[in-house]
Amino acid sequence: VEVRASVIFSGRDRAADEPTALERVAKRAYEVAGVGPSDIDVLEVHDAAAPAELISCEELGLCARGEGPKFLASGAMDLGGAHVVNPSGGLLSKGHPIGATGIAQIVEVVDQLRGRCGARQVNGARVGLTENGGGFLGRDAAAMSVHIFSR
């Protein structure tokens, strides 16, 4: 498994019409990795609150802004879908140990790319992404990271 991108940005107290820290860091990570949202097979995103998973999908460019619920309903995020999101169950299923969350996300994506995930395996996964952030600066996350891996 190869690390294609490892990008961390600081947030800022941005205007409502400016890109979020996640939108900015994802754009840079895609550029560094030489891939785009359509290339991502499996993702582990920071879903410490119920709507966060859908918001992350929008800000990562998997669907348009405001289309997260429709993206979820389409089955694209489910096992067998085009962009499987949080096959591990995400933070809501396993807790959110500060510091360990990002490492657990990376372990899950690397295990997915190596075909080690049994019943939750994303068949044929070749490109994976992790997204993690925290804190607040006005309307934005204080820090945001995106890592992209491939096999």
Q: How far does the chain reach from its first CA to its final CA, in angstroms?
A: 5
Cα separation, 93 vs 73, whole angstroms: 20
- Report the pLDDT value the prediction gives residue 11, as an integer from 0 to 100: 93
- Report the pLDDT value the prediction gives residue 84, as an integer from 0 to 100: 98
Cα separation, 70 vs 138, whole angstroms: 28
Residue pLDDT, tens place only, 66-98? 999 999 999 999 999 999 999 999 998 888 887
- Report the pLDDT value the prediction gives residue 47, as an integer from 0 to 100: 93
- Report the pLDDT value the prediction gives residue 127, as an integer from 0 to 100: 98
Residue pLDDT, tens place only, 46-60? 998 889 999 999 999
Mean pLDDT taken over the chain: 95
* The pair of three-digit structure tokens given for residue 41, joined into one six-digit string: 């097979």
> Which letter, b or e, does each residue of 60-75 get, where b requires 16 or more Cβ atoms within 10 Å of its Cβ?
bbbbeeeebeebbeee
* The pair of three-digit structure tokens given for residue 122, joined into one six-digit string: 């994303």
Q: Where are the beta strands (DSSP E) in 49-101?
A: 84-85
CA 96 → CA 106, 108, 117, 134, distances in Å? 14, 15, 21, 12
pLDDT class of 5 with cuts at 50, 70, 90: very high
Cα separation, 130 vs 91, whole angstroms: 12
List domains and CATH numbers for the chain. Answer: 2-150 (3.40.47.10)
